[in-house]
Amino acid sequence: MSAIESVLIENRVFPPSEALVKAARISGMAGYEALCAEAEKDFTGFWGRLARENLTWDKPFTRVLDESAKPFYKWFDDGMLNASVNCLDRHMGTPVENKTAIIFEADDGAVTQVTYKQLLARVCQFANALKAHGVQKGDRVLIYMPMTIEGVVAMQACARLGAIHSVVFGGFSAKALQERIIDGGAVAVVTANYQMRGGKELPLKAIVDEALAMGGCESIRNVFVYERSASACPMQAGRDKTFAEVLKGQPTECAPVSVEAEHPLYILYTSGSTGKPKGVQHSTGGYLLQAKLTMDWSFDLQPSDVFWCTADIGWVTGHTYCTYGPLAAGATEIVFEGIPTFPDAGRFWQMIERHKCSVFYTAPTAIRSLIKAAETHDAVHPRHSNLSSLRIIGSVGEPINPEAWMWYYKNVGGERCPIIDTYWQTETGAHMINPLPGATPLVPGSCTLPLPGIFPAIVDETGHEMPNGTGGMLVYKKPWPSMVRTIWGDPERFKKTYFPEEMKGYYLAGDGAVRSADRGYFRVTGRIDDVLNVSGHRLGTMEVESALVAKTDLVAEAAVVARPDELTGEAICAFVVLKRSLPHGAEADKIAKELRDWVAKEIGPIAKPKDIRFGENLPKTRSGKIMRRLLRSLAKGEAITQDTSTLENPAILDQLGQTH
Ligand code: PRX
C-alpha cells in the first residue's frame, strides 16, 4: 500500500491527555474554538489584539490590515518596531534576562551556553561591526553560515540595523550563492572559514570566494569570516575580515533601528516551478507576530521548556523556529551544529536526555532514517536514552506517513507526547495548519485543523470549494500577518504564482489536500506544481533540468520527475538524452556519477538525482511535448497503463526503464 493510500484509510484517533488539556495555554477544543470564533467575528480586531499583546511597538499601529493594493497586503503598517528588540531587549529587566537563551552543542559534542543578556551583548557588538562597515537599514546582507550561535547572532544583528538578511543554506553551491548575491544585490557576506559536520571540516569561505570570482557580485564590499575552525583559509585584504578583527573594540550596546512594520526583515530563496529560485520577502511586524504566537500555540511553550528545532537556519523552519520564534517567546533553545548520525544515529536521543529537551521539532525524513538505523543497530534505539523530559514532539517539512508517525509517537514520545504535525511553507512564514497540544485529537498523517485566524479551503481549478472527502487544491481565503509580501524584485511573479486569476483572490499554496469527511481534518497530499520535496528540502524540477542541460558537452536534453522514496519522501529521477551514443554498463554508471557531481556543483548535493536513466530520446507527443506522466510511471517502475498512442516514439519506454 502506498503512503498516501494508508493515510487515507487512517482512523486511529489520539485525544490529548487530561493533564495537558488542563495545563495548556489553549485548553481543549473549546479554547481553540473560542479563538477561531473571535477571528471569524472580528478578523482585524483579533489580529490587532494579538499584535498589541505579543509585540513591543516603538510606535503603536492604528491600522491592522490595508487591503487597498491587494494581493500586496499590508499589516500594522503605520506601526514601528524592531525585531531584535522583540527577541532580546524585550526580556531585559524580566526573569528571562539571565535565563539561558541558547544551548549550543557543537558537532564534536562541546556545549556552550549563552543567556539572553549575553546574547543581546553579542548581537549588539556584531551589529556595531556591520555598522562600522557601512551596513545600513535596507541593505541586504547574505549569510552563509553553519548552525552556530554566531549564525543566529548575524541574523539578529541585521535585524537590529534594519538590514535585510538573505540566508543561504551551507549546503548550496558557489553558483547558487552567486545567483542569490546578484538577485538580492547584497553588500556584504557573513560566513565562516569552515563548517564542522559529521567529524569533517568542510570549507565555506572558499565557496564564497568561488562565488564572488564568478562575477556579477560587485555589490559586495565585505566578507566577514567567523573562525569556526583553527585552520586557515584564504583572505582577500581589504575585503575579507575575521570576526575577531571586526568585533575588536566594538561596544556591546547598539541602538536598534526602529522600522516600519512592513519593512522587509529578510529574503529567503525557495524553489518554484521555473528554473529560477524566488526570493520570498517577509515583513517585520506581521512575521514576528506569528513566529511568536505559534511558539505559544503550536508548542504550548511554558517558561521551563527546553525547545529544540533541528532545522538549519538556511531554511524557513530555522528562521522562524531557531532565530525568531523561540527568542521572541523567551524560550531556552538548543542549537545543534552537527548531523543526526554522528557519532552515531542515537545523537538526537542522547541530546534530548543531555539537555532535558521538552519540546522537540524535527522532519519526517530524519525520523525515517533514525527508525532504519535503530532497526539495524539496536544501540542507537531511543529506548536507550531517557526521554522523559519530552512533553511535545513536532514534525515539519513533508507529509509524515502513519508508520513513521506511530514509531515517533511510541518510541520518542512514549505514547504521552502529542505529535504536532505542522503544515506550512517558506511563503507562509509560520505554522498554518496543525493540532494544538492541549486541544486537538490527533490522527496519524493528518495536520488536522487550521490555527485560529487562518482560513484554508480546498478548491477545484476554478476556485470552487470542494466538499469534505474530495481532494483538490489548498488555498487560503484570507490573508494572514506573516504571509510572503512579494518576490524580491518580481512582483508580477508574486501575483501570478500565489494569486492567479482563477483562484478569485485566494492564496494558492501549490499543494494538493483533502479534508476528512468526519472531522474536516486536512491531509496534505503533496505538491501539485513542478516542485519536488526531497528529505523536506524544496527543489524545482526545472532547476534540476536546467542544471543538467548546462552540462553542454554531454547533455542534449533532460527531464526530471519525482518518485516516492521510503526514506527521503520523494527522490529525484532524471531522464537524460546524451549528445553521444547510448552508454551501457560501467560506462553508463560513470556518466551518471559525472552528472550527479555536476548537479551538486550547480545547485548543491541535495539536488543530486537518485536515479538517472539514459535514452536516445524522451517520450514526446507528436507536437513535441514531453509526456511527464509517462516519465512518472517509469520512475516508479509501474507498468505503463496510460494511452501511448499519441507518443511519437513508443520504443523509447523500454530504454528509459533502466536505472543508473
Ligand atoms: O508541500 C508542502 C510541504 O513542504 C512545502 C513547503 O516547503 P518549504 O517552503 O521548504 O517549507 C518547509 C517547512 C515549512 C509545502 O508546500 N510540507 C511542509 N510541511 C508539511 C508539508 N507537507 C505535508 N505535511 C507537512 N507538515
Instruction: Name the residue among 170, 56, 71, 10 with its Cα closest to residue 493.
Output: 71
Task: Give the percent of the chain with pLDDT over 70.
Answer: 98
Residue closest via CA to ligand 1's atom 22 equals: 398
Q: Which of 428, 523, 532, 533 to mutate to test the pocket of ligand 1 (most atoms within 8 A of CB)?
A: 533
Instruction: Name the residue among 100, 96, 199, 204 with its Cα closest to residue 151.
Output: 204
Q: Which of 398, 443, 531 to mutate to test the pocket of ligand 1 (most atoms within 8 A of CB)?
A: 398
Residue closest via CA to ligand 1's atom 10 equals: 538
Query: Ligand 1 centroid vs 423 CA: distance in angstroms?
Result: 6
pLDDT digits (tens, 9 = 90+) for 462-472: 999 999 999 99
Query: Ligand 1 centroid vs 269 CA: distance in angstroms?
Result: 15
643, pLDDT greater than 90: no
The mean pLDDT value of the chain amounts to 95
pLDDT of residue 623: 81
SS3 126: helix
The reported pTM is: 0.95
pLDDT digits (tens, 9 = 90+) for 413-456: 999 999 999 999 999 999 999 999 999 999 999 999 999 999 99
Nearest atom, ligand 1, residue 400 CA: 24
Instruction: Name the residue among 258, 290, 286 with its Cα closest to residue 73.
Output: 286
For the record, the C-alpha cell of 90 comes out as 524585550
Nearest atom, ligand 1, residue 531 CA: 1
- Calpha distance 162→140 (Å, rounded): 10
Helix axes 116-132, 149-161, angle to 10 degrees: 60
Write the CB contacts of 45 (distance below 8 Å, at least 6 apart in sequence).
38, 64
pLDDT digits (tens, 9 = 90+) for 511-567: 999 999 999 999 999 999 999 999 999 999 999 999 999 999 999 999 999 999 999
SS3 280: strand
Maximal C-alpha separation, the chain: 75
Write the CB contacts of 635 (distance below 8 Å, at least 6 apart in sequence).
561, 562, 563, 573, 611
CA dihedral sign, ordered 284, 285, 290, 295? positive
pLDDT digits (tens, 9 = 90+) for 250-284: 999 999 999 999 999 999 999 998 888 999 999 99
Q: How high is the ipTM of this complex?
A: 0.99
pLDDT of residue 9: 60
> Using a 6 Å CB cutoff, which residues line ligand 1?
270, 316-317, 396-399, 421-426, 447, 509-511, 524, 526-527, 533, 538
**pLDDT grade for 659, boundaries at 50, 70 and 90:** confident
Query: Ligand 1 centroid vs 318 CA: distance in angstroms?
Result: 13
**pLDDT grade for 4, boundaries at 50, 70 and 90:** very low
Q: What is the CA radius of gyration of the chain?
A: 24
